[in-house]
C-alpha cells in the first residue's frame, strides 16, 4: 500500500516535470510567440494610427511607439525562423527595420509627416504578410 502511494507520487512528479518542459518549449517558440510578437506590433501600430486620428502628432506622443516597434522588430528572425524562404524573410524584416529607423532618425512632429511614416511602415507590414502570412 505505502509502496503504491510512493510510486504514484513519483510518477506524478515525473509526468509533471515532462509536462512543464514540453509547455515551456512550446511557449519559447512556435505559434504562440509569433502571435504575441505580431499582436504587440499591431498594438503600437494602432496606437500611432489613433494618434493621427486624434490629431496628437507631437514627436513626444509618437516616438515611444516607434521605438518599441523598432525593438520588437529585432525579434522577428529569432522568433519566426526557420520559415522555409529564410533569406526572403530576413530581407522583409530588414526593410521593416529600415522604415522604422528612418522614422526614428527624423521623428515626425506633425500629422502629415506621421501619416507619411505610417504609410511606409504599413507598406512593410503588408509586404511581409503577402509572402509569409497564410
Ligand atoms: C518580416 C515579416 C513580418 C513583418 C515585417 C510584419 N509581420 Fe505581421 N505577421 C507575419 C507572419 C509570418 C504572420 C503569420 C504568422 C502568425 O500569425 O503567427 C503575421 C501575422 C500578423 C498578425 C496576426 C497574428 C495572430 O496571431 O492573429 C498581426 C495582427 C500582424 N501580423 C500585424 C503586423 C503589423 C501591424 C506589422 C507592422 C507594424 C507586421 N505585422 C509586420 C510576418 C510579419
Cα 33 to Cα 20, 26, 69, 98, distances in angstroms: 17, 9, 16, 23
| Residues 62-91: tens digit of each pLDDT | 999 999 999 999 999 999 999 999 999 999
Q: What is the CB < 6 Å shell around ligand 1?
A: 31, 34-35, 38-39, 41-42, 45, 76, 89, 92-93, 96, 121, 124-125, 128-129, 132-133
Cα 124 to ligand 1 centre (Å):
10
Poorest-pLDDT segment among 22-31, 48-57, 60-69, 103-112: 22-31
Output the pLDDT for position 27: 57
Residue 88: C-alpha distances to residues 37, 61, 95, 98, 127 (Å): 19, 33, 11, 15, 11
Q: Which atom of ligand 1 is nearest to the CA of 39?
A: 29
Residue closest to 117 by CA, chosen among 129, 99, 91: 99
User: What is the Å distance from ligand 1's center to 35 Cα?
Assistant: 7
Grid cell digits, residue 89? 524573410
**CA-to-CA separations, 115 to 47, 55, 74, in angstroms, rounded:** 13, 11, 23
Amino acid at each position: 500500500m505505502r509502496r503504491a502511494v510512493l510510486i504514484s507520487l513519483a510518477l506524478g512528479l515525473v509526468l509533471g516535470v515532462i509536462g512543464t518542459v514540453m509547455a515551456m518549449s512550446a511557449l519559447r517558440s512556435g505559434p504562440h510567440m509569433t502571435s504575441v510578437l505580431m499582436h504587440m506590433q499591431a498594438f503600437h501600430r494602432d496606437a500611432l494610427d489613433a494618434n493621427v486620428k486624434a490629431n496628437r502628432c507631437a514627436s513626444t506622443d509618437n516616438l515611444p511607439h516607434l521605438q518599441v516597434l523598432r525593438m520588437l522588430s529585432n525579434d522577428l528572425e529569432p522568433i519566426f525562423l526557420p520559415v522555409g524562404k529564410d533569406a526572403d524573410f530576413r530581407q522583409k524584416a530588414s526593410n521593416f527595420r529600415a522604415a522604422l529607423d528612418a522614422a526614428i532618425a527624423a521623428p515626425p512632429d506633425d500629422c502629415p509627416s506621421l501619416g507619411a511614416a505610417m504609410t511606409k511602415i504599413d507598406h512593410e507590414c503588408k509586404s511581409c504578410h503577402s509572402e509569409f502570412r497564410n
